[in-house]
């Protein structure tokens, strides 16, 4: 167990988790925390950041900080729902394909490869634009329905290599049922891959949803960071030099995406020890007397206390 | 040969799947926006065009689904994508074929630049891993996480509005007549610089990280050690032995990332009002022009498939294993 918690000691993972925790907190308590109602208009039209409006106001005097705080929930909920639904489909398709083999595998892999090659964003736009009301959850499900293929592909490859391992064969020889083989023997060994696929999908879902809001497909009254950018773009924030309108929202998206990527790096380093040693800081390597050179990659065994 | 044949079959299947998805989306989704629009168009639309719209959107209630599907294919094979509602009565096929070259040019140039620069930087970072060069990784991570369109907004704000170096929208000087002249091409390059720069900036990070991780893996292979032991110069080992092998997965992942890059470029066109297919899609979405939307999706998808096939062909040329492998 201690070995599994090891990745929490990784600096990148800690940074990522702290940022994620911050945004999660914002999503949970945001509406009570925000200084103003994000829809409340005021006389301070397009005013730069000040003591009363920390991040300034938009063209109708609405407080931008409040919009960002309230919008965090929309972004995170969509990311989570899309991530969970895509991961479930990905696990079902990928593990089944890897485990059954034969014609079932061929057709399932062909299906996921098709979904990989068809450009996702135009497909999502096409579906979302034709729905009568493309609210947050609908968009999340559409993203989930189109975004499972990458996870399925990676899981299939991993399952294929696990299927013939000795411990699975032993369990099979013991007369275990197929579903038990999959649930008890194969799935636990896929945890890291599933987790990394989940985090990747959440990143993609956040970016897609924000993009959809930015081009005005989701209702503009649902606050999320993309909606803020939609208003900014459509009211010439760029030309008016209102940087406080579009910089913070975009920075939040970038920060969230970066946090998710950092967590994913941590997971990758568990799976691939070669990357782990390079993940160590250059200085700490030198202090330990390890010189990374071509021809060999130092694989550091962490001392268990 | 076998490899190529399998790929061609796969792409044919995918094209069929995309066309079928395109057929089913307006039929499966609730609501019927097209009937409403047709009602508004009453009288202005001739019966022939109305028929093709009905076939494309599944409004003939009296024919079976299968018959509708066959009719749909019939229209597509004749290149009939219906009429655009907003640019009435221009056929969708005309609008799309006018905007497609702009997108192909933008995505093509930007992707090649990003691929070359990204792979070179990644080679260097992977070779010098564990040194100061690792400090560049967080920067790459940041650029990978930034949404395309926001980077576009920032470059417009800085390079166009504040510094005034580049125009913030459009794809060539409106005072010029499109012609194959130096002046016109210069204008296209000048207007296209900023969108291309943004696409390069946001897609280069993916290539850097992929190449770097492959270099880390490849550097510990025996043949690299042997090359070192032979006393070959560092540069030659890095480029001729390690990078040469590390770049193969890059080429094969090219196909998978292309759809993503194209999606990003479409958004970029919306930000820059660049007259490519993404901007057309944007206009179609904001004016509820359903035939145009469907047509855009179809053409985008088919173009991505063609590009993927080219990438696969390149991969087969680069990696002899795909040619000899017979399974």
Q: Does pLDDT of A5 surpass 60?
A: no
The rounded distance, in Å, linking the Cα atoms of A254 and A251 is 5
Residue B83 DSSP symbol: B
Confidence of residue A89 (pLDDT cuts 50, 70, 90): very high
What's the structural domain count of chain A? 1
CB contact under 8 A, B259 and A246: no
Chain A interface, best mutation among B104, B136, B145, B212, by max A CB count within 10 A: B145
Q: Is the C-alpha dihedral spanning A49, A53, A55, A56 positive or negative?
A: negative
Assigned domain for A189 exists? yes
Among chain B residues, CA nearest to A262: B141
The residue count for chain B: 327
Looking at per-residue confidence, does B123 or A8 come out higher?
A: B123
CA neighbor of A207 nearest in space, from B14, B264, B208, B45: B264
| CB within 8 Å: A254 and B282 | no
Q: Pick from A37, A73, A72, A41: which is nearest to A58 by CA?
A: A41
Contacting residues of A for B271, CB less than 8 Å apart: 233
CA distance A215 to A203: 19
Q: Is the Cβ of A132 closer than 8 Å to some Cβ of chain B?
A: yes
Candidate from B14, B29, B270 with C-beta closest to A114 = B14
Token pair for B307: 């590009």
The C-alpha atoms of residue A103 and residue A113 are separated, in whole angstroms, by: 15
Task: Work out the pLDDT band at A295, boundaries 50, 70, 90.
Answer: very low
Nearest beta carbon to residue B266 from set A122, A232, A250: A122
Which residues on chain B are in Cβ contact (under 8 Å) with A126?
A: 22, 25, 293-294, 297
Kindly state whether A247 is in contact with chain B, defined as any CB-CB distance less than 8 angstroms.
yes
Q: Which residue in B273, B266, B272 sits closest to B157, CA to CA?
A: B272
Cα angle value B141/A90/B312 (rounded, 5°): 65
pLDDT at B53: 67
Mutating which of B17, B155, B283, B285 best tests the A interface, going by the most A Cβ atoms within 10 A? B285
Best interface-test mutation with B: which of A224, A254, A291, A298 has the largest number of B CBs within 10 A? Answer: A254
Q: Is residue B297 part of a domain?
A: yes
A106, B10 in Cβ contact below 8 A?
Answer: no
Reported pTM? 0.80
Q: How far away is chain A from the Cα of B227, in angstroms, using its nearest Cα? A: 10
Residue A62 is predicted with a pLDDT of 82
Please tell me the distance in Å from A108's CA to the nearest CA on chain B: 13
* Within a domain: B9: no
Q: Quick check: B192 and B173 in contact, CB under 8 A?
A: no
Which residue in chain B has the smallest CA separation from A209? B147
Mutation pick from A68, A207, A239, A249 vs chain B, by most beta carbons of B within 10 Å, is A207
What is the value of ipTM here, to two decimals? 0.80
Supply the pLDDT for residue B39.
Answer: 63
Beta-carbon contacts below 8 Å between A and B: 187
Closest CA to A203 of A26, A75, A19: A75
The answer to whether the CB atoms of A130 and B21 lie below 8 A apart is no
Judged by a CB distance cut-off of 8 A, whether residue A273 touches chain B is no
Annotate chain A with DSSP letters as a single string. Answer: -TTGGGGGGSHHHHHHHHHHHHHHHHHHHHHHH-SS-TT---S-TTPPS-SSSTT-B-TT--BHHHHHHHHHHHHHHHHHHHHHHHHHHHHHHHHHHHHH-HHHHHHHHHHHHHHHHS-HHHHHHHHHHHSS---HHHHHHHHHHHS-HHHHHHHHHHHHHHHTSHHHHHHHHTT--HHHIIIIIIGGGGHHHHHHHHHHHHHHHHHHHHHHHHTT-S-TTS--HHHHHHHHHHTTTTTTT-HHHHHHHHHHHHHHHHHHHHHHHHHHHHH-HHHHHHHS-HHHHHHTT---BTTB---PPPPP-
Of the CA atoms within 13 Å of residue B82, those in its CB half-sphere come to 27
**Interface contact flag, B130 A282, Cβ < 8 Å:** yes
Task: Identify the pLDDT of residue A88.
Answer: 92
Instruction: Return d(Cα A161, Cα A173) in angstroms, integer.
Output: 18
Token digits for A167? 């411990």
* Per-residue confidence (pLDDT) for residue A293, from 0 to 100: 55
* Structural domain total, chain B: 1
| Minimum CA–CA partner of B141 in chain A | A258
Cα(A148)–Cα(A89) distance, integer angstroms = 6
Does the pLDDT value for residue A85 go beyond 90? yes
**Contact A282/B150, CB-based, under 8 Å?**
no
Residue B155 lies in a domain: yes
pLDDT tens digits for range A29-63: 878 877 777 777 777 777 778 777 777 787 777 88
Q: What is the rounded average pLDDT of the residues A181-209?
A: 85
**Across the interface, do A132 and B134 touch by the CB < 8 Å criterion?**
no
pLDDT truncated to tens, each residue of chain B (327 aa)?
677 788 888 888 888 888 888 888 877 766 555 566 666 666 566 666 666 666 666 666 667 778 778 888 888 888 777 777 777 677 888 888 888 888 888 888 888 899 899 989 888 888 877 677 777 777 777 777 777 788 888 888 888 777 778 777 776 776 666 666 777 777 777 777 888 888 888 888 888 888 888 888 787 788 888 888 888 888 888 888 888 888 888 877 776 677 777 888 888 888 888 888 888 888 888 777 778 888 888 888 888 888 888 888 887 787 777 666 544
DSSP-derived secondary structure letter, B237: I
- Asked if pLDDT for residue A279 goes beyond 70, the answer is no
Q: Length of chain A in residues, anyone?
A: 305
Q: Which domain holds residue B250?
A: 92-322
In a 10 Å sphere around its CB, with 0-12 CB exposed, 13-18 middle and 19+ buried, how is residue A197 labelled? buried
Q: What is the CATH number of the domain that holds A250?
A: 1.10.3720.10
Instruction: Give A120's contacts (C-beta < 8 A, 6+ positions apart).
Output: A146, A147, A204, A208, B259, B260, B263
Flag if B219 and A125 touch (Cβ within 8 Å).
no
- Of A76-90, A162-176, B297-311, the range with the highest mean pLDDT is A76-90
Q: A260 with B144: CB under 8 angstroms?
A: no
CATH code for the domain in which residue B300 is found: 1.10.3720.10
Here the tokens at position B224 are: 């690299």
A39 within domain boundaries:
no
Q: Which of B41, B39, B59 is nearest to B51 (CA)?
A: B59
Instruction: Give the one of A125, A258, A291 whose C-beta lies nearest to B281's C-beta.
Output: A125
Phi/psi at B209 (5° precision): -65, -40
Assigned domain for A298 exists: no
For residue B154, the chain A residues in CB contact (below 8 A) are: 247, 250
- Is A236 part of the contact surface with chain B (CB cutoff 8 Å)? no
pLDDT, mean over chain A:
80
Domain that holds residue A29: 6-34+63-287
pLDDT per position as a tens digit, A205-248: 888 888 888 888 877 777 888 888 888 888 877 777 778 888 88
């Amino acid at each position: 167990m201690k070995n599994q918690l090891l990745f929490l000691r990784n600096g990148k993972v800690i940074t990522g988790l702290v940022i994620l925790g911050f945004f999660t907190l914002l999503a949970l308590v945001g509406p009570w925390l925000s200084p103003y109602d994000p829809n409340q208009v005021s006389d301070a039209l397009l005013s730069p950041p000040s003591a009363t409006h920390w991040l300034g106001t938009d063209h109708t005097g609405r407080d931008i900080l409040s919009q960002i705080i309230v919008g965090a929930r929309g972004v995170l909920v969509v990311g989570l729902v899309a991530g969970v639904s895509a991961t479930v489909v990905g696990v079902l398709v990928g593990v089944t394909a890897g485990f059954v083999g034969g014609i079932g595998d061929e057709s399932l892999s062909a299906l996921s490869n098709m979904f990989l090659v068809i450009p996702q964003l135009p497909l999502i736009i096409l579906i979302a634009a034709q729905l009568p009301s493309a609210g947050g959850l609908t968009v999340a499900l559409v993203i989930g329905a189109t975004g499972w293929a990458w996870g399925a592909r990676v899981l299939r490859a991993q399952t294929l290599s696990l299927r013939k391992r000795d411990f699975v064969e032993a369990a099979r020889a013991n007369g275990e049922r197929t579903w038990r083989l999959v649930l008890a023997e194969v799935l636990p060994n896929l945890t890291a891959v599933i987790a990394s696929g989940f985090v990747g999908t959440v990143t993609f879902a956040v970016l897609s949803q924000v993009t959809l809001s930015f081009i005005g497909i989701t209702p503009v009254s649902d606050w999320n960071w993309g909606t803020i950018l939609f208003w900014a773009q459509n009211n010439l924030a760029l030309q008016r030099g209102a940087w406080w309108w579009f910089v913070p929202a975009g920075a939040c998206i970038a920060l969230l995406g970066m946090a998710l990527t950092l967590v994913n790096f941590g997971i990758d380093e568990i799976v691939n020890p070669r990357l782990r040693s390079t993940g160590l800081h250059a200085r700490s390597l030198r202090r330990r007397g390890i010189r990374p050179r071509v021809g060999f990659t130092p694989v550091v065994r962490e001392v268990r206390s | 040969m076998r490899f190529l044949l399998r790929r061609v079959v796969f792409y044919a299947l995918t094209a069929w799947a995309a066309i079928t998805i395109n057929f089913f989306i307006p039929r499966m989704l609730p609501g019927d926006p097209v009937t409403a629009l047709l009602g508004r168009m009453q009288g202005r639309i001739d019966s022939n065009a109305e028929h093709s719209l009905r076939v494309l959107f599944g409004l003939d209630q009296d024919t079976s689904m299968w018959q509708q599907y066959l009719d749909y294919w019939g229209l597509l094979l004749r290149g009939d994508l219906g009429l655009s509602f907003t640019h009435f009565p221009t056929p969708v096929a005309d609008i799309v074929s006018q905007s497609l070259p702009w997108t192909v040019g933008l995505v093509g140039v930007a992707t090649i630049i990003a691929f070359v620069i990204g792979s070179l930087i990644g080679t260097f970072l992977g070779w010098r891993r564990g040194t100061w060069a690792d400090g560049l990784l967080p920067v790459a991570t940041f650029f990978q996480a930034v949404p395309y369109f926001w980077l576009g907004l920032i470059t417009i704000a800085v390079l166009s509005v504040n510094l005034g170096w580049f125009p913030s929208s459009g794809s060539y000087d409106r005072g010029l007549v499109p012609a194959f002249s130096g002046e016109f091409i210069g204008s296209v390059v000048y207007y296209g610089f900023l969108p291309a720069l943004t696409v390069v900036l946001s897609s280069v990070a993916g290539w850097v990280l992929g190449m770097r991780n492959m270099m880390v893996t490849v550097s510990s292979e025996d043949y690299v050690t042997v090359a070192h032991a032979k006393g070959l110069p560092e540069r030659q080992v890095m480029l001729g032995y390690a990078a040469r092998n590390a770049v193969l997965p890059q080429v094969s992942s090219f196909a998978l990332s292309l759809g993503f890059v194209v999606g990003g470029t479409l958004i970029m066109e919306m930000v820059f009002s660049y007259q490519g297919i993404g901007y057309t899609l944007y206009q179609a979405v904001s004016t509820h022009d359903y035939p145009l939307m469907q047509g855009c999706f179809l053409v985008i998808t088919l173009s991505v498939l063609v590009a993927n096939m080219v990438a696969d062909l390149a991969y087969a040329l680069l990696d002899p294993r795909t040619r000899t492998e017979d399974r």
